[in-house]
Chain A
Amino acid sequence: MDFAYIADILPDILEGLGTTVSLFLWSMVISTVLGLVLALLRLSPLAPLRWFAGFYAWLVRGVPLLLIMFYVFFAFPELGRSLLFSPFWAAVVSLSLWTASYQAEAIRSGILAVDLGQFEAAEVLGMSRAHAMRRIVLPQSVRIIVPPFMGNAINTMKQTSLATVITVPEMALLTTRIISRDFKALEPLLALALIYLALTTLLVFAQQGLERAFRLKV
C-alpha cells in the first residue's frame, strides 16, 4: 500500500465532498417537507388522500433508487420540458422523492405517539394551543421521530453515491475517474471509504446528540 499516493489523490477525491454534502443537505430539506405532507395525507380523514399517500409509498419503495434516478433524468424531460433537470438537480429530486417515502413513516409514527387528550389537559391548565404544541406535544413527538429520521438520513448520505450514474461529479464519480486514470484501485477506494465512514459516523454522533437533547428529564 502506497500512503504517499493516497495523500496525493485525497485532494482530488475531496473536491467532490462539497457536491456530496450539497446533494445530501438539499435532499434532506426537500424530503422532510414532502415527508411531512405525506404523513399528514396518510392521517387524513379523506380516504382518497390516504390512498394517495399509501400508493406513493408502495410505488417509490418498490423500485430501485437507481431506476428512479434514470427515470427523473431521462424520462421526466419527455413528460414536459419544465421537468428537464441538470444532473445535480435530477439527483436531488430523485433522492428527495425516495427519502420522503421513508421520512413520512418516521414522522407519522411521531404524530401517532402523542395522545391528543393532552391538548385538553393543557387547555384546562390555561395553556394556549400554540404553547401546548411547543411545550407538550412536539417534545414528545421529536423523541419518537429522531431515531428513524436519522437512520433514514444516514441511508440518504450513502445513496448520494448513486448520483455517479447520471454523471454528477460527487466523490464516488471522481474516485472512478482516478481509478481509470492511474490503474490503481485499492488506494483510491480506501480513501473514499474512509471519507464515507467519517460522514456516516458523524451522523451517528449527531443522532446520539439529538437523542440526548430531547431525553426525558426526571
Chain B
Amino acid sequence: MSWDVVWRSRAIFWEATWISVQLFVISLVLATALGLILALMRMSRHRALRWFSAAYVWIFRGLPALVILFFAFFWLGNSLGWSPFQSAILGLAASSGAYKAEIIRAGLLAVDPGQYEASEALGFSRAHYMRRIVIPQGIRVMIPNYVSNSTLLFKSTSLAAVIGLTELTGRSRQLANSTFQPIEILTAAGVIYLVVTSLMTLSQGWFERRFAVKV
C-alpha cells in the first residue's frame, strides 16, 4: 500500500468535497423551507392542506431517496433541460423535506397549546404568537433530530454519484479505478466523510446552547 497517491490527489479530493458541500447546503436550505411549509400545512384548519401534506410525507418517506433522485433526473430534469447538479438538488430536497416536515411538526406540537390562550389574552395575533412563542420553544425540541437528519442528508449527497455527478463518492470511485489503488482512495474519502459528519454531530451542542432558555 502506498498512501502518497492520496496526497498527490489532494486537489481532486478538495474539488469533489466542495461539490458535496454545495449539494448539501443548497438542498438543506430548500428541504428546511419545504419541511416548514409541509408542517404548517399539516396543522392547518383546511382539510385539503392537511391531506396534501400527509400524502406527500407518506409517499416521499416510503420511496428510496434514489428513486426520487431518478424522478428528478430522468424525468423532470430531463424535460426541463436541467443539469445533473440541479436535478440532484431537487431530488435531495424533495426527499429530505418529508423527513424535516415530521421533525418540525413534532417540535411545534411539543409547545403547550394553552399558551395560545395566554398570548391571545395579551393581545398577540396568531402570526405573532407563532413567531415569538411557538417557534423559539419548538426549535429547542427539534435540534437533536434536525442535526442527525442533516448528517443523513450530507451522506445522501453521495447518491448524486449515481446520476453522474463527480462529488466525493463518485469522483473517488473514478479515481480508485484509474489509480488501481481503491483501498487508499476510498479510505481517504471515508475519512473526509467522517470528519464532516463528526463535526456536524459536535455542532449539536453549540446549537443547543445557542437556543437555550436565557434566564
Question: Could you tell me the distance in whole angstroms from the C-beta of B59 to the nearest C-beta in chain A?
Answer: 7
Q: Which of B8-27 contact A (CB under 8 A)?
A: none
- Asked whether, in the complex, the Cβ of A192 is within 8 Å of the Cβ of B198, the reply is no
- Asked whether, in the complex, the Cβ of B70 is within 8 Å of the Cβ of A63, the reply is no
Which residues from B are CB-within-8-Å of A186?
Answer: 75
**Pick the contact of B158 from A66, A158, A164 — CB < 8 Å?**
A66
Which residues from A are CB-within-8-Å of B50?
Answer: none
Question: Could you tell me the distance in whole angstroms from the C-beta of A129 to the nearest C-beta in chain B?
Answer: 38
**Pick the contact of B156 from A64, A176, A189 — CB < 8 Å?**
A64
Question: Could you tell me the distance in whole angstroms from the C-beta of B187 to the nearest C-beta in chain A?
Answer: 8
Does B140 interact with chain A (Cβ within 8 Å)? no
| Given contact pairs A67-B193, A158-B63, A185-B75, A176 touches B70 in the complex (Cβ within 8 A) | yes
| Given contact pairs A70-B186, A71-B186, A172 touches B62 in the complex (Cβ within 8 A) | no
- Asked whether, in the complex, the Cβ of B67 is within 8 Å of the Cβ of A193, the reply is yes
Which residues from B are CB-within-8-Å of A162?
Answer: 64, 66, 159
Does B136 interact with chain A (Cβ within 8 Å)? no
- Asked whether, in the complex, the Cβ of B176 is within 8 Å of the Cβ of A75, the reply is yes
Question: Could you tell me the distance in whole angstroms from the C-beta of A94 to the nearest C-beta in chain B?
Answer: 12
| Given contact pairs A74-B182, A164-B66, A176-B70, A63 touches B193 in the complex (Cβ within 8 A) | yes
Closest to B190 in A: A63
Does A78 interact with chain B (Cβ within 8 Å)? yes
Question: Could you tell me the distance in whole angstroms from the C-beta of B67 to the nearest C-beta in chain A?
Answer: 6
A32–B214 CA distance with the chains assembled, in angstroms: 44
A75–B172 CA distance with the chains assembled, in angstroms: 12
Does B183 interact with chain A (Cβ within 8 Å)? yes
Which residues from A are CB-within-8-Å of B162?
Answer: 66, 164-165
Does A200 interact with chain B (Cβ within 8 Å)? yes
Chain A interface residue count, Cβ-Cβ cutoff 8 angstroms: 35
| Given contact pairs A64-B169, A176-B70, A189-B71, A158 touches B190 in the complex (Cβ within 8 A) | no
A74–B193 CA distance with the chains assembled, in angstroms: 18
- Dominant secondary structure at the A interface: helix
Q: Which of B158-178 contact A (CB under 8 A)?
A: 158-159, 161-162, 169, 172-173, 176-177
Listed by A's residue number, 26 A-B pairs whose Cβ atoms lie within 8 Å are A59-B194, A64-B155, A64-B158, A64-B159, A64-B169, A66-B159, A67-B172, A70-B169, A70-B172, A70-B182, A71-B190, A74-B177, A74-B182, A74-B186, A75-B182, A75-B186, A75-B187, A78-B182, A78-B183, A158-B64, A165-B161, A179-B74, A185-B71, A193-B59, A193-B67, A200-B63
Where the two chains meet, the residues of A that have a C-beta atom closer than 8 Å to any C-beta of B are 58-59, 61-67, 70-71, 74-75, 78-79, 158-162, 164-165, 172, 175-176, 179, 185-186, 189, 192-193, 196-197, 200-201
Give 11 A-B pairs besides A185-B71, A196-B63 with Cβ atoms closer than 8 angstroms. Answer: A58-B194, A59-B194, A62-B197, A64-B157, A65-B155, A67-B158, A75-B183, A158-B63, A158-B65, A193-B63, A197-B63
